[in-house]
Amino acid sequence: MGTVRPSSIPEASKISQGAHNDGHNQKELDAGALFVLKSKGSWIHCGYHLTTSIVAPALLSLPYAFTFLGWTAGTLCLVIGALVTFYSYNLISLVLEHHAHLGHRHLRFRDMAYDILGPNWGRYFVGPIQFMVCYGAVVACTLLGGQCIKAIYLLVEPNGIIKLYEFVIIFGCLMLILAQIPSFHSLRHINLISLALCLAYSACATAGSIYIVPPKGQVKTIPLLEIVRVEFLGCSMPSPSIATTFGNGIIPEIQATIAPPVKGKMFKGLCVCYAVVTVTFFSVAISGYWAFGNQSEGLILSNFLDDGKPLVPKWFIFMTNMFTILQLSAVGVVYLQPTNEVLEQTFADPKSKEFSPRNVIPRVIARSLSVIISTTIAAMLPFFGDINSVIGAFGFMPLDFVLPVVFFNLTFKPSKRSPIFWLNVTIAVVFSTLGLIAAIAAVRQISLDAKTYKLFANV
């Protein structure tokens, strides 16, 4: 990284809106920023990107998290997670707007860390952590996509012999095609469809839970002291898992897709996103736990089957899984963008046209290899969710909860007597602690699962 940051763009140096480089001096942009992080979108496009990156099928595990916490603590964790992430994402947006107003618009998370915390933080901490989180999300989406395809297959062929890793490869082929979409901004239409899909499968999960409510069953509750005892003995922390469900990790890259001036646009996009978050997260969590109580599975859709027998019409399960599969592909492609940006920065030539052979050939090869590697990892490690929990604890917690408040305090320097200063310090300390606890729990779970699972296991 040089003295002049390639992603710190003088916003005042805009040229005509129709120009190839969208109003920025092309000489100041590397190929990753120029071709992948195009600043052409509106606030509503930003809302689509945010919704896809946050409202993902991981929300279908919220009823399971409630089994450890109960109604009161579970709902409280859900509310706190929503409020804190909405707050922290707004803080990081304000910091980005502030630097853009000063004439240096940051397009990447690592560039923010480089300028605010110092070169080593951007190069050796934020950059690698963000890459692991985002690429881990791609692997997790590929694995879950394969599992959903397998669920559909078993509905049709209960004694089918096709293995999980083969379904993972099928989903990987879909990802291989979508990965070739050139820029983040180009995903706006796909992410609009993704928004509709997450509403659709959340509605299906809610309707299915209400339909299946066991006539005999009441929600089994666990006393608070018993919860605490079980949690510490088992090292399982559902509250951090709820927090990471709101994880994003790519706020600067999403804000980079907005056409200048950027002031106020991210807030509108966040309002769109969190309107969807409120509808989907709370409806699935509450209906799923109300219906199944402490029998809620890791994925609520699993509760729609009883010993392989569907409790709702087969077409309903098929439709819900299809909505989930299609949205997973959109989520995976969104989290592939930081990887694409790094590959483009490394192999592309900003002086050549975006769709010239000089840039298209390396782009196709590099992105294809990236997807092939992620698909191979997903097929090999069916317990990758446990590994992803470690990555999430070390990644989503600092990127989404700790760094935004640190960036805000260092940038705006609020008085140490002001409530906002101490609120930010409290958030940083609490969520750093939760991240550490969650990491310990996740490492322990990996050690347990390593004794059970084998490579390419058909689970």
Residue 321 CB neighbours (<10 A): 23
Residue 228: what pLDDT?
Answer: 38
pLDDT, average across residues 133-138? 92
Measure the CA–CA gap between 62 and 147, rounded to whole angstroms.
Answer: 18
Is 0.75 topped by the overall pTM? yes
Q: What is the pLDDT of residues 103-130, one digit of tens each?
A: 889 999 999 999 999 999 988 999 999 9
Predicted confidence (pLDDT) per residue in 428-448, tens digit: 999 998 888 888 877 777 777
Task: Give tens-digit pLDDT for 396-420.
Answer: 889 999 999 999 999 999 999 999 9
In the predicted model, what is the mean pLDDT of residues 85-91? 96
Map out the domains of the chain as residue ranges.
26-449
Percentage of the chain with pLDDT > 90? 62
CATH code reported for the domain at 26-449: 1.10.4160.10
d(CA 92, CA 443): 30
Note the pLDDT tens digit of each residue in 60-83.
989 988 988 889 989 999 999 999
Q: Mean pLDDT across the chain, nearest whole number? A: 85
Distance CA 69, CA 168 (A): 32
| Cα–Cα distance for residue pair 59/54, rounded to 1 Å | 9
Residue 217 has a pLDDT of 44
pLDDT digits (tens, 9 = 90+) for 256-311: 999 998 999 999 999 999 999 999 999 999 999 999 988 888 889 989 988 778 89
Measured distance CA(70)–CA(238) in Å, rounded: 11
pLDDT tens profile 298-331: 889 989 988 778 899 999 999 999 999 999 999 9
